[in-house]
Amino acid sequence: MSNLNTSVDGRWSSHFAYILAATGAAVGLGNIWKFPYIMGENGGGAFVIVYLLCILFIGIPVMMAEVMIGKRGRSTPANAAAKVATESGSSKHWSFLGMSGVVAGFLILSFYVVIAGWAVAYVVHAGSGDFSAIAAAASDSGDHAGKIGEIFSGLLSNPAELITYTTIMVVATVLVLGKGLNKGLEKAVTSLMPALFILLAIIMVYSAIEGHFGEAAAFMFAPDFSKLTVHSVLEALGHAFFTLSLSSGIMMIYGAYLPEGVSIAKTSIWIAICDTVVALMAGLAIYPIVFANGMEPAAGPGLLFQTLPIAFGKMPMGDLFGTVFFVMIVFAAFTSAIALLESATAYLVERRGLARWPAAIVAGSGIWVLSLGTVFSFTGAEWTKMSFFGNGGNFFEVIDFITANIMLPLAGLFTAIFVGWKVKKAHVEKEMQLTGAAMGALMLCLKFIAPIAITIVFAQLVGIISL
Ligand code: PHE
Ligand code: NA
């Protein structure tokens, strides 16, 4: 905790420093890699609408609730939740809100580092001119998409390479956390976030001109509600939590350092807007290429890596753009990975009495071991195939499902109930600095909309599982 970018009194040095760190934790693979492919798997527009509703009515209020718990408790998540509970006359066992975040963050990071490793591999491919070479060869022989796809399948079938890149990500994350380099990193984020944004805009414009933009826009924004299944709704709900870094302890940790006078509502809304815009831009960059090349929207986790390299191969200075783009993805993933490891590290420091270095190393080692399950899920190893509530899936799919679709919304449900019903209203009002209609709207979401919506989705799912 001591290495966050805080001033002497242990608060964020500015309101801007807080927004940067929280946006850095939010914007990551969830936006650029995951959102586009799960949108494709779930039929596009209708999924997008449900997702946006979840961000608005559940994600933002829960984010505010988490920041508020951290700010009022001024401690690590479990301790903060216990403190906020007991001062309102509730049980100290509400500390489980903090504990579940540690477990969820740990599990998420175990696949996050593997996908970030794919992006590292693509920095190398782009940098060595592979994409333009394939594009040049394909203009004679055709099948550009197929040849680009071979790079991806080649990577997935090479565990040594995957493990190497994953290890690089794990070690780098542990080093930053152990050494407390967050300060320097935040400086980097200051320029990287806007740069990522501009680059994404350039790629988006290029895709729009060269690809099938109309088809992509229709796919993303013309909802076909007949495509919506209970499972898609659960996925949209879970992704709203995942993409905003909720239920992982992170927002409570960051809230613990929030200076008085910073608006929790305004900063949360701003973070959610940035996150959502980046996700939608990623979709608008990827889908015109999908449709122009007759590819499958439901291609799965490889979607990003099988589409944009087609564009990088053809566009002017594409090797350079491609290299810079994947470097930025690695960075965006890195800032999220640091936040994810912070949760487990802070737990080991505060609740288990470890020093910061050993804590980061212990957590990092565990994550590295678990990451092998995801690496071998993509090589297709038999031992990673498991059955899960009657559905088949590999290790990665099961971990992703359990965390994003079950643990995060479930913790969010309890967070909403906790702040909506258990914490004294005066405390909530004081920390949120909201009154009147704004406070009423927030309470409506926390007391009713979020708990009821999440419960209904889960109930439906239970119905499906037991069939
Ligand atoms: N929000 C990050 C993303 O979208 C992932 C993340 C989840 C980071 C939970 C921190 C905590 O990529
Ligand atoms: Na995100």
Tell me the one-letter amino acid at 438. A
Fold exhibited by the domain 15-465: Amino acid/polyamine transporter I (1.20.1740)
Query: Does ligand 1 come within 6 angstroms of the Cβ of 248?
Result: yes
User: At 386, is the pLDDT very low, low, confident or very high (cuts 50, 70, 90)?
Assistant: confident
| Structural contact between residues 144 and 310, judged by C-beta atoms closer than 8 angstroms | yes
Quick one: pLDDT at residue 8? 43
Reply yes or no on whether the pLDDT at 384 is more than 70. yes
Query: Does ligand 1 come within 6 angstroms of the Cβ of 250?
Result: yes
Query: Does ligand 1 come within 6 angstroms of the Cβ of 408?
Result: no
Q: What six digits make up the tokens of 431?
A: 């920390």
- Index of the ligand 1 atom closest to the CA of residue 104: 9
For 242, residues 6+ apart whose C-beta sits below 8 A from its C-beta are 30, 34, 108, 403, 404, 408
Q: What is the rounded CA–CA span in Å between residue 302 and residue 322?
A: 16
Question: Reduced to 3 states, what is the DSSP secondary structure of residue 391?
Answer: strand
User: pLDDT tens, 67-98?
Assistant: 999 999 999 999 999 999 999 999 999 999 99
Q: What's the whole-number mean pLDDT along residues 168-194? A: 79
For 26, residues 6+ apart whose C-beta sits below 8 A from its C-beta are 243, 244, 245, 271, 272, 274, 275, 336
User: pLDDT tens, 115-129?
Assistant: 999 999 999 999 999
Percent pLDDT > 70 in the chain is: 94
Plot region of 117 (φ>0 → left; ψ -120 to 50 → alpha; else → beta): alpha
Quick one: pLDDT at residue 184? 61
Residue closest via CA to ligand 1's atom 10 equals 245
Closest by CA position to 258, among listed 28, 106, 75: 75
User: pLDDT tens, 277-310?
Assistant: 999 999 999 999 999 999 999 999 999 999 999 9
For 150, residues 6+ apart whose C-beta sits below 8 A from its C-beta are none
Q: What's the 34 CA to ligand 2 centre distance in angstroms?
A: 9
- Index of the ligand 1 atom closest to the CA of residue 29: 12
Question: How much helix, strand and coil, in percent to the nearest 5, is found in the chain?
Answer: 80, 0, 20
Q: What is the rounded CA–CA span in Å between residue 208 and residue 333?
A: 26
Quick one: pLDDT at residue 467? 44
User: At 181, is the pLDDT very low, low, confident or very high (cuts 50, 70, 90)?
Assistant: low
Percent pLDDT > 90 in the chain is: 79
**What stretch of H or E contains 393?**
strand 391-394
Ligand 1 pocket, mutate which of 103, 242, 328 (most atoms under 8 A from CB): 242
Quick one: pLDDT at residue 463? 73
User: pLDDT tens, 324-352?
Assistant: 999 999 999 998 999 999 889 988 988 88
DSSP 259: P
ipTM exceeding 0.95? yes
Q: What's the 28 CA to ligand 2 centre distance in angstroms?
A: 5
Query: Does ligand 1 come within 6 angstroms of the Cβ of 173?
Result: no
Using CA of residue 82, residue 64, residue 54, residue 305, what is the dihedral sign? negative
Ligand lying nearest the CA atom of residue 336: 1
Q: What's the 243 CA to ligand 1 centre distance in angstroms?
A: 5
Q: Domain ranges in the chain?
A: 15-465
Q: What's the 136 CA to ligand 2 centre distance in angstroms?
A: 35
What's the distance, Cα to Cα, between the start and end of the chain in Å?
46
- Index of the ligand 1 atom closest to the CA of residue 408: 9
Reply yes or no on whether the pLDDT at 2 is more than 50. no
Query: Does ligand 1 come within 6 angstroms of the Cβ of 23?
Result: no
Quick one: pLDDT at residue 395? 95
Query: Does ligand 1 come within 6 angstroms of the Cβ of 21?
Result: no
Q: Which residue has the higher pLDDT, 191 or 75?
A: 75
Q: What is the rounded CA–CA span in Å between residue 264 and residue 72?
A: 12
